[in-house]
A and B are shown apart, each in its own frame.
Chain A
Amino acid sequence: MKYRHLAAVLGAACGTLAALPALAGPTLDAVKARGEIVCGVNTGVAGFSAPDSRGEWKGIDVDVCRAAAAALFGDAKKVKYVGLTAAQRFTALQSGEIDVLSRNTTGTLSRDTSLGLNFIAPNFYDGQGFIVAKKLGVKSAKELNGATVCVQQGTTTELNLADYGRANKISFKPVVIEKVEETVATFFSGRCDAFTSDTSQLAATRATAATNADDYVILPEVISKEPLGPMVRHGDDQWFDLVKWSLMAMLEAEEYGITTANVDDMLKSNDPNVKRILGVTEGMGKALGVSEKWAYNIVKQVGNYGESFDRNVGANSPLKLERGLNALWTKGGLMYGWPIR
C-alpha cells in the first residue's frame, strides 16, 4: 500500500513533467541504425508477455514487437525486451528508453493526449468483470453490495471498481493485492466474495486455478471497455505506420487464410489481395520503407493473428480463452484488418 501511494504521487509528478519535453524523433532511423527494436513489455502476465522456462519472452504482446522486427529487419529475433512495471511504462516510452510499448495497455483519451503517446490499434479487446463462487447464489454484480472484492493494485481495474460502485450505489470492500497470482490465490482461499479483473483473466483463472471450474460463475456485467494495444510517442509517424501495419498484416493474413505453414504456397496464389500482402505485387513494402517481403516475414516467423492468439492465450495454450470480441469481424468479433493496398 505504501508503495502504491508513492507510485501514484510520483506518477502524477511524471505526468506533469511529461508535458514539458516535446519528444519527437526519427525513431525509425534510430531503430534501423541500432539494428534492433527496444520493446517495453509487462514483467509477467501469462499469455501477454512473460519469460518462459528458458528466459525467452512469449506472448501476444511480445508477438507485436516480433512482427515489427520481422517487417523491418526480416528477423523477428531482433528485439530487445525491457520489462516494465505499470508505473514505469509511460516514462520509459516518453524518455526514449523504449521504441514501442506493448504491455497490455488500455488506450484512453488522456493517455493519447496529455501523456504525448499514440495508441496504434487494439491487439486484444478486453473488459472488466466479476467472478463469484456459485454457492453465494449471486446472479448479478448489482447484488454485490457490501461484498469483499479481491482486486489487483495499481491498474485501471481498481478505479473501474470504484466508479462502478459509485454509479450504482454499491459499496464494495476492496481487498487490494499486488500480484495477479496472489490475488487469485486469495480469492480461491475464500478471503473475498468476488474477484474482479479483465474477463479474459477471469476465464483463464477459472479454467486453470480453480479446483472445480463449475463451482464459480462469471457475472454477466462487463463494467469497462479495455482495448489493449501497442503505443508509440507522438510525432513519430513513420515509426507509428510500421508498427501499425505490422499488426494489420497479421489480421489481414488471418482473414485471407495465410498461415506460417502455407505462406510459401500462398506466394503462388492468384488472389490480388494475397499477392499485395505477400509482396508478390510490389509497392506496399516500398511505401512503408521496408523490404517487399515484410508481411511474408511476419507470417513466416510470427504467424497470423489467429495463430498468435491460439498459441499464447487461445485454444493451444493453457489459458484456453475464447476468441469472443477478438474474433475477426467476419466471424462476429471486432478484429478488423485494414486493407493492404
Chain B
Amino acid sequence: MSDTAIPTAMPKPIAGPVIWLRANLFANPLNAIMTVLVVWFLVMSLPALLDWLLLDAVFQADSVRECRAAGSGACWAFIGEKHRLILFGLYPYEEQWRPLLVVLLLIAMAGVSCLRRFWTKWLAPMWIATLVVVGILMWGGVLGLSYVENARWGGLPLTMILAFVAIAVAFPLGVLLALGRRSNLPAIRAICTIYIELVRGVPAVSLLFMASVMLPLLLPEGMNIDKLLRAQIALIVYASAYLAEVVRGGLQSLSKGQYEAADALGLTYWQKQRLIILPQALRITIPPLVNTLITVFKDTSLVVIIGLYDLMNAAKASFVDPAWRGSSIEAYVFVSLIYFAFCFFMSKYSQSIEKRLAQSQNR
C-alpha cells in the first residue's frame, strides 16, 4: 500500500500579519530600527497628546483660572467663549449670521466648482452672482440690512474673501502675464517680465507693507484707498506673478508642433491660445496651480502685519483678554484646524484631478 506522500510540513504561508509585518516593517535592519523608533515615538507622544486634547481638557469654565484648576489639559472653554470673535472678528455681534451665511455660500460655491458637471459657461456668471450676494451680505445697507463698513469685517469670511478674490482676479491676470512673457512683441514681453520678476523678487510681506504704509503717503491728502482694498490689491499682485510662472511652465511643456499645427490651421493668435494651447497647458499645470492657490490661501494671514482681523489676527486678538491669558495654544490649534481643513481639501482635490489626467494620458 503506497499512499500518496503526505507533506511533512505545511507550505509557508504567503499572507498573514506576520508576513506583512516582516515585508513592510522589518524588511532590513534599517527598516526595523525605523519601525521601532516610530512606534516608540507614538507610544511616548500619543497618550500625552490625547490627555491634553480630550481626557484632561476642560470644556466648561468662566476664566482661564477655573480652567487650569479643573484640569491640566487644553482649555476648550476658551474656544467656547471666543469662537465668534475668532471666526467673525469685529463684525457686529447681532449681525454675525451674515458672515456665517457668506462662509457657507463660498464653501458651497467652491464645492460646486470642483464638480466637473458644473464646468460650463455658467460657472463664471454664477461666481459673479455669488460675489455680489457676498458683498450685499457683508456690507448691507440695502434690503433692510444694516450697513457694516469693511473695517469691521474679520475672521474666516475675511480670509476667504481675500483668498477667493485674489485667486479669481490673479488667475486670468497670471495667464495674460504668462502669454505676454512669451509674446513676440518686445515691449509687452519686457513689461510682463519686469512685472513678474519684480513681484517675485520681494516677499509678500513687503508688498503688503508697501500697499498699506507707503501708498497712503504717496497719494494726495484726503485721498484714502480703503485698507482692505489695498491689502486685496497687494495679494492679487503677488498671486498673479506666481501664477504667471506656473502657467508659463505649462506653455513651455507643449511641443512646438502644437503651435505650428494651430498656425497651419489659420487660427488667429487668440483662437490658437483659447482652443489649442491653454486647454492643454492649464491641464498640465493643475498640480502646481493648486499648490500656488494653497500658498495664497495661507498667505492671506500675512495681513496680520497691517492690522486686518483675518482668521489669524482675530485668533491673536482673542487670547489678549486678561481673563483668558495663556490660552494661545488652544487658539492656534483651533485656527490651524480650520486652515488645515481648507488646504487638505484643496490638496486632495488636486490629487484626484491628477489621477484623472493620468487616465486620459494613458489611453
Contacts and interface: CB of A to CB of B under 8 A. Distances in A.
B227 A96 contact: no
Interface stretch (B128-136, B210-218, B237-245, B291-299): B210-218
Interface residues of B, number: 48
B100 interface: no
Contact of B325 (A88, A95, A209): A209
A246 B318 CA distance: 30
Nearest to A204: B322
Interface residues of A, number: 51
Contact of A44 (B63, B92, B224, B316): B316
Nearest to A318: B322
Nearest to B320: A44
A85 interface: yes
A46 interface: yes
B216 A95 contact: yes
A10 interface: yes
Nearest to A45: B320
A96 B221 contact: yes
Contact of A3 (B63, B219, B305): B305
Given A55-B91, A208-B322, A95 B85 contact: no
Contact of B227 (A97, A185, A319): A97
A213 interface: no
A54 B309 contact: no
A234 to B, nearest CB: 13
A25 B307 contact: no
A33 interface: no
Interface stretch (A76-84, A139-147, A283-291, A299-307): A76-84
B323 interface: yes
A102 to B, nearest CB: 14
Interface string B285-328: 00000000000000000000111110001001111111101101
A208 B308 CA distance: 28
B188 interface: no
A52 B90 CA distance: 9
Contacts of B248: none
B93 A83 contact: no
For B149, B222, B320, the residue with the greatest tally of chain A CB atoms inside 10 Å of its CB is: B320
Interface in A288-332: 317-319
A75 B43 CA distance: 60
A23 B210 CA distance: 21
A282 interface: no
B333 to A, nearest CB: 14
A94 B217 contact: yes
A97 B229 CA distance: 14
Interface in B157-214: 203, 205-206, 209-210, 212-214
B212 A88 contact: yes
A25 B221 contact: yes
A229 B176 CA distance: 50
Interface stretch (A13-21, A118-126, A260-268): A13-21
Given A51-B90, A53-B82, A55-B88, 11 more contacts: A10-B210, A10-B214, A25-B222, A43-B309, A46-B325, A80-B151, A87-B213, A95-B217, A95-B219, A97-B224, A318-B63
Return the 6 tightest CB-CB contacts between A and B, nearest first.
A95-B216, A318-B322, A44-B320, A55-B90, A54-B93, A83-B307
19 contacts: A10-B213, A13-B214, A25-B222, A43-B313, A45-B320, A46-B322, A53-B84, A53-B85, A55-B89, A55-B90, A84-B307, A88-B213, A95-B221, A97-B224, A179-B328, A184-B325, A185-B328, A208-B325, A318-B63
